[in-house]
Amino acid sequence: MKKGKSENVPKEMHGVYKAIVDLTDAFASQQLNEEYAQMIRLATATLCRKRPSPLVSGKPNTWACGIIHALGTVNFLFDKSQNPHIGAADLANAFNIAASTAQGKSKLVRDILRMSPFEPEWTLPSRMEKNPRAWLIMVNGMIVDARCMSREVQEVAYKKGLIPYIPDET
């Protein structure tokens, strides 16, 4: 996750943020976990800070579902082999919206926040170790897995923000 991510939102967005996060926190406590809840809050706050914020129009339940769907896409929430998991249609039903609406809002969130599968910035911390993109760095023109490099190289890569943490320090 990028340094500096926070749940801070502009004063004028507090109401919108709270309306969405109340829904997502409730859903996460029942169907997901605290780790997802935290990442959802960070994504919601990031969207609140966009100028103009896309969250000013639309219903809170639609945005809540779209944000969860977007993060779920990055973290393979819809894969039955993962824990937690939920079907995309079940997620949409939980927020009383059509699956196509959830997917459309999710696509918008993913585009705005530049989310994609294995995107280190939006990967849950518990999944970071298995995220291949989080560990790839370029050393002398070669792309390498930082986990296979010396401690010195790992420390430099971490200080530059190229890897999420120094592997032995988890």
pLDDT tens digits, residue range 21-41? 999 999 999 999 999 999 999
**What confidence score (pLDDT) does residue 170 get?**
52
Structural domain includes residue 69: yes
Task: Kindly report the pTM of this predicted structure.
Answer: 0.86
Structural domain includes residue 130: no
Q: Residues 64, 100: one domain?
A: yes
Q: Residues 57, 80: one domain?
A: yes
- The pair of three-digit structure tokens given for residue 122, joined into one six-digit string: 């939006």
Structural domain includes residue 1: no
**Mean pLDDT, range 77-103, rounded to an integer:** 96
Structural domain includes residue 6: no
User: Who contacts 21 (Cβ-Cβ below 8 Å, separation ≥6)?
Assistant: 40, 41, 44
Beta bridge pairs of residue 137: 144
Closest CA to 21 of 52, 1, 49, 43: 43
* Average of per-residue pLDDT values in the chain: 92
